[in-house]
Amino acid sequence: MAKVKSVLGYSVAALCIPVMMVAVLGLRLPMAPALILGFVSATGLKHSANWTGGEVVQTLEHGTYRTEVHRPVFDALIGEHKKGFIQVAWRPPDALPARIDEEIDADADGQADFRIRLEPATKQASLTSYSPNVIELQGVYNLDETLAVRVRLKNPRR
């Protein structure tokens, strides 16, 4: 028994070398990027909506530019948080008018919940709330190919 354990021990220890080679150097192989992206795709891993702003649920065309309204984000590990935000973005940033004045329906009930007035050049924005679930303007952000605002919301379901 002792001999078996000893042989097994040395064997596992020796196997550690190729395992470490694969773990550290295997990721430089030509097929590695495809495998990694395949893994990400297969597992469905995605960023928390806290970072991405959530999916776009409504698009409003304005000729040279469009407004993208994301879903309200109250994501939690279990259930939902009591407070969250909604991201509204305008694209493309170089085709935006000098002043944006838009009413947004955050909860898709057909009624506007708040109004945003925004000057893209200076990133000055103001918020007028029509709903008790709208808390405040969180900020204005230059994101990839969009100019976005985030508005803090209370979760109407909690």
Partner 1 sequence: MTAQALTREDAPRMATWKALLLTLPIIPVAASPVMSALSSGDLLAIIPGFAISILLIVVFFRMLVTGRTHRYRSALFISLAIAVPLHLIPQLFELYGTNMLTPEMTYAAKARFCPMTVGAVLLPAVLKGVVVFPGVIAEGVVWFFMWIGASLVIGRGWCSWGCVFGGWDEFFSRLRKKPVIKHVDRKWRFLPFAILLAIVLLSAITFHPIYCEWLCPFKVVSEFEAPTSLATTIALVIFPLTFLGLVVALPLLTKKRIQCALWCPFGALQSFFNKINIFELRIDLDKCSQCKRCLRECPTFSLDEGSLVSGKALMSCTRCGQCVDACPKGAMSYHIKGTRISVSPNTARLLFLYPAYILFCGFGAVVVSDAVWRVLRLITTGSMI
Partner 2 sequence: MHGFLLGLANGTSCLALCAPVLIPFLLSEGDNVRQNLVTLAKFLGGRLLGYLLFGLLAWAVGGLLLAAGGYQALLIGGTYVGLSILLLVAAFRKKKPAHGACVLSDAQVRFRRWPALIPLGMGLMAGLKVCPPLLLAFTGAASSGTLGGSLLLFATFFLGTTLYFLPLPLLGAFTRMPDLRIVGRFAAVIVALYYLGSGILLLAGGVQL
Applying CB under 8 A, which residues contact partner 1? 2, 5-6, 8-10, 12-14, 16-17, 19-25, 27, 33, 36-37, 39-40, 43-53, 75-77, 139, 141-144, 148
Task: Classify 139 as helix, strand or coil.
Answer: strand
Q: 52: helix, coil or strand?
A: helix
Residue 58 or 155: the one with the smaller Cβ distance to partner 2 is: 155
Binding site for partner 2 (CB under 8 A): 76-80, 82-83, 132, 135-136, 138, 152, 158
Using the minimum distance from each CB to partner 2, give the nearer residue, 58 or 138: 138
Cβ at position 38, least distance to partner 1 in Å: 10
Sign of the Cα pseudo-torsion (23, 25, 28, 29, in order): negative
Give how far Cα 126 sits from Cα of 27, 33, 69, 136, 142, Å.
Answer: 48, 44, 17, 9, 16
> What is the nearest approach in angstroms of partner 2 to the Cβ of residue 156?
10
CB contact at 8 A, 67 and 148: no
CA gap 49, 33 in Å, rounded? 25
Helix (H, G, I), strand (E, B) or coil at 24: helix
Nearer to partner 1 by C-beta: 6 or 128? 6
Residue 98 interacting partner from partner 2, partner 1, none (CB closer than 5 to 8 Å by kind): none
Residue 14 interacts with which of partner 1, partner 2, none, CB < 5 to 8 Å by class: partner 1
